């Protein structure tokens, strides 16, 4: 099997731009609650965001050689998405963030840990990880780049759209991105209208007709001050 595949077919740039400002929660709901990574993968500092197309990396546990290869071949607008085999160490640090950003990389999503957190934040480079770990790595084992990987419980393919905010990370398959964007825009428009109604005093219970849903499930109510069990 070839370790490194250079060709990729990413989401078109105009579609990627359309997701700017969309929340992870909205996109997750718009694609029928698919694509959300495990909740443990969060921005290493609040306020970090990421939006781009995936350059996928599979590293051997305790080794970051392939992450350095990924930095060498990253395209502008790509997010490096990496699985490190569940290893609790920091295969990514400040120097790598500086190099990646200079080459057009827009962020890192890693099913693992990183180090140099405060320094990475100072460079305005978005990193989503399970946390911080000072443990270092070797640079001697080959892995895979631009193969499908599992990251945070989600299958990520090269070119998929990756979106991250304070809530976490969601992945949208490249071939579905345009349709998910359309549905996300519709959902945002609907929520704008709901927000106006709520600000006027209406409740979600009233607006969404959940009374009928609850009664169909057997909900009972009584307006007496005290009801015997």
How far apart CA 38 and CA 46 sit, in angstroms, is: 17
Question: Would you say residue 229 has pLDDT above 80?
Answer: no
pLDDT band at 108 (very low <50, low <70, confident <90, very high): very high
Q: Which runs of consecutive H residues, i.e. helices, occur in 160-200?
A: 177-199
**Percent of the chain whose pLDDT exceeds 90:** 81
Query: Which helix (H) or strand (E) covers residue 65, if one does?
Result: helix 65-73
Distance CA 91, CA 154 (A): 21
Identify the DSSP state of 127: E
| C-alpha distance across the termini of the chain, in Å | 67
Q: What is the DSSP letter of 60?
A: P
Strand runs labelled E in the chain: 42-43, 50-58, 78-83, 107-111, 113-114, 126-129, 131-132, 144-145, 149-151, 154-156, 161-165, 168-172
Which two three-digit tokens encode residue 171?
């992945």
Task: Report, as an integer, the average pLDDT of 206-225.
Answer: 86
Query: Mean pLDDT, to the nearest integer, of 89-101?
Result: 97
pLDDT above 70: residue 11: yes
- Report residue 70 as tokens: 């990924």
pLDDT tens digits, 115-143:
999 999 999 999 999 999 999 899 999 99
Model confidence over 35-83: pLDDT tens digits?
A: 999 999 999 999 999 999 999 999 999 999 999 999 999 999 999 999 9
pLDDT value of position 228: 66
The strand pair at 126-129 and 107-111 is best described as parallel
Please give the mean pLDDT across all residues of the chain: 95
Sign of the four-CA dihedral 184, 190, 193, 194: negative
13-43 pLDDT, tens digit each = 999 999 999 999 999 999 999 999 999 999 9
Mean pLDDT of all residues in 173-200 = 94
Quick one: pLDDT at residue 85? 82
Q: Is the pLDDT of residue 227 over 70?
A: no
Alpha-carbon span 33 to 25, nearest angstrom: 9
Judge whether residue 86 has pLDDT over 80.
no
Comparing C-alpha atoms, which of 10, 103, 125 is closest to residue 56? 10
Q: Give the mean pLDDT of 151-167.
A: 98
Provide the residue count of the chain: 229
pLDDT at 120: 98
Write down the domain spans for the chain: 13-184
How much is the pTM? 0.92
Match domain 13-184 to its CATH number in 3.40.50.2300, 3.30.450.20, 3.50.30.40, 3.30.460.80.
3.50.30.40
Q: How far apart are CA 77 and CA 71, in angstroms?
A: 12
């Amino acid at each position: 099997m070839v370790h490194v595949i250079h060709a990729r077919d990413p989401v078109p740039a105009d579609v990627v731009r359309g997701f700017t400002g969309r929340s992870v929660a909205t996109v997750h709901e718009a694609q029928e609650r698919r694509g959300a990574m495990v909740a443990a993968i969060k921005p290493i500092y609040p306020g970090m965001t990421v939006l781009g197309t995936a350059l996928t990396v599979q590293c051997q546990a305790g080794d970051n050689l392939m992450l350095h290869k990924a930095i060498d071949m990253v395209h502008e607008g790509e997010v490096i998405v990496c699985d490190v085999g569940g290893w609790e160490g920091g295969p990514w640090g400040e120097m790598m963030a500086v190099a990646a950003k200079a080459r057009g990389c827009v962020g890192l999503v890693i099913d693992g840990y990183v180090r140099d957190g405060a320094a990475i934040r100072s460079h305005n480079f978005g990193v989503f990880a399970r946390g911080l770990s000072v443990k270092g790595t070797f640079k001697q084992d080959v892995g895979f780049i631009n193969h499908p990987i599992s990251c945070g419980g989600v299958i990520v393919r090269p070119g998929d759209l990756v979106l991250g905010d304070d809530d976490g990370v969601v992945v949208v398959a490249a071939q579905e991105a345009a349709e998910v964007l359309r549905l996300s825009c519709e959902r945002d428009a609907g929520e704008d209208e709901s927000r106006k109604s709520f600000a006027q005093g209406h409740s979600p219970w009233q607006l969404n007709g959940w009374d009928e849903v609850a009664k169909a499930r057997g909900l009972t109510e009584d307006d007496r001050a005290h009801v015997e069990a």
